[in-house]
Structures are given as structure tokens and as C-alpha cells.
Amino acid sequence: MQVLEKKLSVRRCLTFVTGLVECLCFAGVVFGWASLVFVLKEDGYFSSLCFNTTGVNDTQKLDCSAQDEQFSLIFTITSFINNFFALPNGFLFDHFGTTVARLLAILNKLLRLFLIFFSFPSALSFLLFLALPLLAIGGILFLITNMQIGNLFDSRRSTIINLYNGAFDSSSALFLIIKLLHESGVSLRTSFLFLSACSVVHILRTFFLLPRTFIPHPLPDRYAYGCEQTSWV
């Protein structure tokens, strides 16, 4: 009996910690867009929209206002999609459960990362208009499926939910890290290939550390989930 209780406790703690890392590193990265824009400009995205103009005293300067407008438009569309798809994502989670929602989120993540990966060279910059909204949709799904973990810790349920929300907002730092790595010589492609490889962690969490459907509240005694079939002993 004590061994079973200890096993369940370890699994719940592992579920909580890995969920926090997942939200911190992958869920709300779209809000770090401003940092990624610096990298995209250096790599020549939408650079064809820049042109030389004549300034004061007949000096030549590069006008990239049209390029900046494209980056602003991408973020505006992404911000709208991020809020608009909160309802469809919630509907998807309620009707199909955790596993289906997370597999769609993982597929979404791989698709958007490869879109950014193949948007280089900059001639395919328009792919960002699809990649970034997908980034927002998948991030919300990761957050929604992780927030139910609070049900595993009844007395700290609200604290854990708020921790996940805070981690979601803090994940904007990921693009800042990518910017710093880019300045150190790590290409954008390499960074996004690494992020794609991290999908293995998402898959392992989906099947071993989360239920197929939902985590109920209040939590039944000795509630089991993950690779074992959800049951009440």
C-alpha cells in the first residue's frame, strides 16, 4: 500500500515538473516575437521590401518601413488567432480528451517549426504568415492540457494553475535565447531543428505522464493515469 502511494506521489510530482517546463519552454513563445524579428531581419526575411531613398543633403538611406509592416502584420494576425482559437481549442479538449488534443498540438508544433525551417531562404518569407498563427494555436493546447494537473494536488490546485499561466507568459524568453544563440553563430535552422526534436518529450509526456481523457476533480483515492489504464483502486 505504501509503495503504491509513493509511486503515485512520484509520478504526480514528475507530471507537475515536466508540465511546468513544457509551458515555460514551448507554450507561449509567440509573445517573444520581437526578439525573433531581429534574427529574421538579419537572415533577410522580407528584405525585398527595403529600398534606397534620398534623405537630407542628398544622403542615401535604406527604407525598410514596408518590411517592418509585414512583421507587425504577422504578429497582429497571430495575436488575434491566439485569442480567437481559445474557444475551439477548449471544445476540442472537452470532447476528445487529453491525448487527442496533445497529439494535435504536437503535430501543429512540428508543422509550424518546419514551415519556419523551410521559409529560409527569405524568398519564402510568406510562410511566416502561416507558421506563427500555428505557433499560437498549439501553445494554447499545451497550456490547456497542462492546467488540469492542478487537480492532482487538491490543496494547491489554484497555485499550480497560476504557476502554469505564469510559465506560459514567461516562455516568450525562448525567442530571446534563440536571438542570443544566433548572435553567437547558431543558425535559425539549427535552433528550430532542436525544438522539433524536443517533440519526443511531448510524446513521452502524453502517453506516460498524462491521462487519455481528463484528470477528475475532486480526485478519487489512488487515482492512476499515464501508461496504465485510468482506474480507481
Convert the pLDDT of each residue in 164-220 to its tens digit.
999 998 888 999 999 999 999 998 888 888 888 888 999 999 998 888 888 888 888
What pLDDT was estimated at residue 102?
92
Give the whole-angstrom CA distance, residue 180 versus residue 174.
10
Give the whole-angstrom CA distance, residue 17 versus residue 20.
5
- Higher per-residue pLDDT: 165 or 61: 165
Average pLDDT, the chain: 84
In a domain, 35, yes or no: yes
Would you place residue 232 in the very low, low, confident or very high pLDDT band (cuts 50, 70, 90)? very low
Domain count, the chain: 1
Residue 98's closest CA among 197, 213, 178? 213
Q: What is the CA radius of gyration of the chain?
A: 21
In a domain, 72, yes or no: yes
Cα dist. 216→58, 101, 122, 206 in Å? 70, 17, 48, 17
pTM: 0.83
With a CB cutoff of 8 Å and minimum separation 6, the contacts of 111 are 134
Would you place residue 163 in the very low, low, confident or very high pLDDT band (cuts 50, 70, 90)? very high
What pLDDT was estimated at residue 5?
63
Residue 138's closest CA among 168, 161, 106? 106
Residues 138-147: tens digit of each pLDDT: 888 999 999 9
Residues 96-101 have a mean pLDDT of: 92
CATH number at residue 164: 1.20.1250.20
Q: Name the grid cell of 44.
A: 533577410
In a domain, 110, yes or no: yes
What pLDDT was estimated at residue 156?
86
In a domain, 222, yes or no: yes
DSSP tag of 50: -
In a domain, 168, yes or no: yes
With a CB cutoff of 8 Å and minimum separation 6, the contacts of 168 are 23, 27, 28, 139, 143
Q: What are the start-end ranges of the H helices in 85-198?
A: 86-118, 128-147, 157-170, 173-183, 188-197
What pLDDT was estimated at residue 2?
61
Q: Name the grid cell of 203.
A: 510524446
Residues 115-143 have a mean pLDDT of: 81
- Higher per-residue pLDDT: 9 or 41: 41
Percent of the chain whose predicted confidence (pLDDT) is above 70: 90
In a domain, 233, yes or no: no
- Domain hosting 66: range is 1-54+61-228
